[in-house]
A and B are shown apart, each in its own frame.
Chain A
């Protein structure tokens, strides 16, 4: 057995080394094609098409009709490869494309995501992975069902697993749709279904086995795609090809530059102050309008419309008016809000945007910047709450935990958490470096450049999408000031290749990397949902005598149904990505973490406790998010000023309290359950029972 496994491992290493070499060769070949004059759109098509075909190829060649292969990849995925697969499973479109932008825009406070999405693996390693592997069945509800007995804990587990995975998968498919539509010019809805097709090609025939081996391939692509542009940018600004080491000194320069731009005595600072004064004026104007609107209502709005129209007419009548001023006046007429409600939203938005632009630049490396001590303390509280929520959510998302069922042994499960975290850290340690390097580029090269000769990446992206990049000469001095630049977070990663002066082929590589990140996560999530339905609901509760062929047929059918409905919901564009991700993590943390951890570490925990804890945790978390997220429109006051994205901390507290109270009020679990806990705790005791499904 160990001889076979040894051969298997060396074979895997050979295959994936060849694959990595082949991929690099492919990139080089496309670079040559680009030099020969193949158009960019073509390169984008070739790149996305080739990678998707590759995943499909791996998926189809890993087809299986064996239950263990389908659900847990035959339990023979070596620690190193399970680490890569988990890393790809873990890193989503949000990490790959969005995170650098979040850090660029919010500096230190954005590090909550970096900490939360890595530190959670300490909890996975220390509290869950080895024990779940020892238990060794197929799904997370399996563990809840066996440990707490009966179908009720299992059913709640199924419900929670579907709820958080479905929320999360919508965010992923959204990412797939965005990338496909941006780089191929297809419509968003079409992009979603193209992406869906490639997800299904990977997972449909081979289940976990196919998903595992495609995820390994996807990890290679996504890490190469992230590193190349960042290393290049680092060489450009520091001469050092290791951005993670070099950017400390760049950060010092960014901090110095922030001070210059904030100081009106310096020439650059004076120009910034000029632009900010214009924004302050805009803010005051919008606020005055809001005030008058609140007092005067419809009548005042009509009068105000008359004034705007008249002003535009007067400007046009006067000879020698700057044409740009006329355009602006016409736009003010065209965009004048239709009714009171629309006016209130529109002007509130204008006031908020102008207020943000009028403020001095916040220091990138300074934690919890606030107007006063209380505001800073509040930010700190929310920062730490978010970190905790993301960490515990990491250690409770079923699609990650099931990956640790696939290793050959408990020891390898522990090692594979180490590899996972190492591979994940490789990316997360680079993201803050990218944010600082990009900021340095913008603060020193873009700010102060002339509007007549903007850097080419700025004009290119401004032409593609105004929400990602736009520069307006507010004070009309012909020179770019920082307050005149409006940037969308996603731009940072997408534009890095062009900022560093790399050819278009690297931009296409970044798109392929983002697609790999989104597809791999979506694969894992869809499989988790379909398996919860087919294994936990159908096989364990409806028809325990179903034949293997029937079980797999049901699994595959459900996968199809789930995937199509997820894509359908995504094509309706519900909510924003950050909201969906926040909800998924908080729900997972509240529903699963207390029951899973106490199930291993507290023998006294019983069925009543688990049911109370899971229902209570889920209920509290859902209630809090429903009442506080502005999206739902209730807008109740938050508890202790905790932002809705961290609502999971209340759910977690309720979950732990529920398990404790419920267990103490009812009888201790029976002997078989106690034996099961012992079995899970010790690697291979004599006289052990067997729970693993081979």
Chain B
């Protein structure tokens, strides 16, 4: 019983994290892309903002998303004493 509850909580946390990070991924890619023409007047480091996002910003966000997921899930695994392999 205890095991099932532990698993349920672990999976729920994982799903919440995954959903949140996918939302960030979606906004950085598709929402920014959809409104690209409206954001054209804003500039960043000399770039028009949509161009910057497509050429650099979104890529850095992707790296951060994947890095944060690896780090956070590693901690979650340890919290639930579920880290595999020998310690």
Asked whether A and B interact, the reply is yes
* B60 in contact with A425 (CB, 8 Å): yes
1/0 per residue B41-67: CB within 8 Å of A? 000111110111011101110110111
Selected contact of B55 from candidates A1, A111, A119, A376, CB within 8 Å: A111
Residues of B within 8 A of A24 (CB): none
CA distance A421 to B62 in the complex (A): 8
B45's closest neighbor in chain A, by CB? A248
CA distance A422 to B67 in the complex (A): 9
Residues of A within 8 A of B18 (CB): 126-127
In the complex, how many angstroms separate the beta carbon of A350 from the nearest chain B beta carbon? 33
Residues of A within 8 A of B84 (CB): 409-411, 683-684
A126's closest neighbor in chain B, by CB? B18
CA distance A432 to B62 in the complex (A): 17
* B54 in contact with A111 (CB, 8 Å): yes
* B36 in contact with A425 (CB, 8 Å): no
* B22 in contact with A366 (CB, 8 Å): no
A-B pairs with beta carbons under 8 A, tally: 149
* B73 in contact with A414 (CB, 8 Å): yes
Selected contact of A2 from candidates B55, B56, B67, B86, CB within 8 Å: B86
* A114 in contact with B55 (CB, 8 Å): yes
Q: A366-B40, A428-B59, A685-B82 are in contact. Are A114 and B46 (CB under 8 A)?
A: no
* A432 in contact with B85 (CB, 8 Å): no
Query: Is A115 interfacial (CB-CB < 8 Å)?
Result: yes
- Which DSSP category, helix, strand, loop or mixed, fits chain B's interface? helix
Residues of B within 8 A of A408 (CB): 85
In the complex, how many angstroms separate the beta carbon of B86 from the nearest chain A beta carbon? 6
CA distance A119 to B65 in the complex (A): 10
In the complex, how many angstroms separate the beta carbon of A433 from the nearest chain B beta carbon? 8
* A384 in contact with B30 (CB, 8 Å): yes
Query: Is A32 interfacial (CB-CB < 8 Å)?
Result: no
- Which DSSP category, helix, strand, loop or mixed, fits chain A's interface? helix
Query: Which of A252, A685, A687 lies at the interface centre, i.e. has the most chain B CB atoms within 10 A of its CB?
Result: A685
Q: A122-B65, A126-B18, A425-B62 are in contact. Are A249 and B46 (CB under 8 A)?
A: yes
* A418 in contact with B63 (CB, 8 Å): yes
Selected contact of B74 from candidates A251, A391, A411, CB within 8 Å: A411
**Tally of chain A residues near chain B (CB < 8 A):** 55
Residues of A within 8 A of B11 (CB): 681-682
Residues of A within 8 A of B46 (CB): 248-249, 251-252
Query: Is A686 interfacial (CB-CB < 8 Å)?
Result: yes
Selected contact of A421 from candidates B7, B44, B66, B85, CB within 8 Å: B66
1/0 per residue A85-120: CB within 8 Å of B? 000000000000000000000001001001100110
In the complex, how many angstroms separate the beta carbon of A270 from the nearest chain B beta carbon? 28
* A432 in contact with B56 (CB, 8 Å): yes
* B45 in contact with A245 (CB, 8 Å): yes
In the complex, how many angstroms separate the beta carbon of A118 from the nearest chain B beta carbon? 5
Residues of B within 8 A of A685 (CB): 3, 7, 82
* B82 in contact with A684 (CB, 8 Å): yes
In the complex, how many angstroms separate the beta carbon of B61 from the nearest chain A beta carbon? 9
Selected contact of B33 from candidates A2, A376, A380, A433, CB within 8 Å: A380
* B69 in contact with A414 (CB, 8 Å): yes
CA distance A99 to B60 in the complex (A): 19
In the complex, how many angstroms separate the beta carbon of B60 from the nearest chain A beta carbon? 7
Query: Is A417 interfacial (CB-CB < 8 Å)?
Result: yes
Residues of A within 8 A of B3 (CB): 685-687
In the complex, how many angstroms separate the beta carbon of B72 from the nearest chain A beta carbon? 10
* B29 in contact with A368 (CB, 8 Å): no
* B34 in contact with A682 (CB, 8 Å): no
B82's closest neighbor in chain A, by CB? A683
Q: A1-B86, A122-B21, A126-B21 are in contact. Are A418 and B67 (CB under 8 A)?
A: yes
Q: What are 14 A-B contacts with C-beta separation under 8 Å?
A: A1-B85, A1-B86, A118-B59, A119-B29, A119-B58, A119-B59, A122-B65, A126-B21, A365-B47, A365-B51, A418-B70, A429-B55, A681-B11, A682-B7
Interface set of A (CB-CB < 8 Å, partner B): 1-2, 108, 111, 114-115, 118-119, 121-123, 125-127, 130, 244-245, 248-249, 251-252, 365-368, 376, 380, 383-384, 387-388, 391, 408-411, 414-415, 417-418, 421-422, 425, 428-429, 432-433, 678, 681-687
Known: A114-B54, A418-B67. 9 other contacts (CB 8 A): A1-B85, A108-B54, A123-B25, A125-B69, A125-B70, A130-B73, A433-B55, A682-B82, A683-B82
